[in-house]
Amino acid sequence: MMKAFERIYVALDTTEVEYAIELAEKLKGLVGGMKVGKEFFTANGPQGVAAIRKVGMPVFLDLKFHDIPNTVASAIRAAGPIQPEIINVHAQGGPEMLKKAAQAGREAGINWTIAVTILTALDQDDLSAIGLNDSVEDQVVRLAKLTQENGLDGVVCSAKEIAPIRKACGEDFKLIVPGIRPAWAAKGDQKRIMTPADAIKAGADVLVIGRPITQADDPVEAARKIAQELEGL
């Protein structure tokens, strides 16, 4: 049985590899894993990710691939040697791309290949601006079902859509949830947010938390405070 704090993955959004390693070392035992995304990967490449893995925690490689099926599948296979626990694509890449991504993830030995539904920094007005006139919830559930039908392990969604996705896709489908904001943290550019405790109560498998921890005066204390909030849920 997973402990609640192990559900926290910290978003290491920085270009500084030494700082990221130091932070990962300090947070080991307080959180479950590290998430590295476009900023870190663009600056430090696979060697940078390997350095984070060496700290001894699972890594979520959040590169959100969105391209033609062959390119996405090849990129996922290329990530195999980095041995991320989780890798992702955009569900809006469509059914063929999703199917090829799932196959490539399995071939590469990656535990969870998942798809981003609608970014947590977007709200209803943003969807309308890009010509999507369904509700955020309907669009997220549609993409989650498409992701599941094509063999992936789960989705990235906001905590606000956990209940309808669970209803549509069941309990085994993995829900990885950014847009997490403790009551004491600034919202920043996130629009669909929830507190860590409420997101876990709603049924999130993994919470992705960046700035509330990394930008805190004392990141270790911030992580400890969040972990305590999750204890006993």
Binding site for ligand LLZGTKA7 (CB under 6 A): 11, 13, 37, 116, 119-120, 156, 178-179, 188, 190, 208-211
Q: Is 210 annotated as a binding residue?
A: yes
Q: How far is the CB of 1 from ligand LLZGTKA7 (least distance, A)?
A: 26
Given the residues 3, 54, 67, 217, the one annotated as active site: 67
Strands 154-156 and 112-116, sheet pairing = parallel
Q: Is 70 annotated as a binding residue?
A: yes
Q: Is 62 annotated as a binding residue?
A: yes
Q: Is 67 an annotated catalytic residue?
A: yes
Task: Identify which of residues 69 and 179 has a Cβ nearer to ligand LLZGTKA7 in the complex.
Answer: 179
Q: Is 54 an annotated catalytic residue?
A: no
Given the residues 26, 54, 62, 201, the one annotated as active site: 62
Q: Is 62 an annotated catalytic residue?
A: yes
Query: What CA–CA distance (Å, rounded) separates 115 from 205?
Result: 14
Q: Which two tokens stand for residue 199?
A: 């997101």
Q: How far is the CB of 159 from ligand LLZGTKA7 (least distance, A)?
A: 11
Residue at token pair 């309990």: 171
Residue of this chain nearest to ligand LLZGTKA7 (CB atom): 210
Strands 59-65 and 33-36, sheet pairing = parallel
Q: How far is the CB of 143 from ligand LLZGTKA7 (least distance, A)?
A: 12
Q: Is 172 exposed, middle or buried (0-12, 13-18, 19+ CB in 10 A)?
A: exposed
Task: Identify which of residues 13 and 16 has a Cβ nearer to ligand LLZGTKA7 in the complex.
Answer: 13
Task: Identify which of residues 94 and 188 has a Cβ nearer to ligand LLZGTKA7 in the complex.
Answer: 188
Task: Identify which of residues 144 and 208 has a Cβ nearer to ligand LLZGTKA7 in the complex.
Answer: 208
> Which amino acids are annotated catalytic?
62, 64, 67
Which residues line the annotated binding site for substrate?
13, 35, 62-71, 120, 181, 190, 210-211
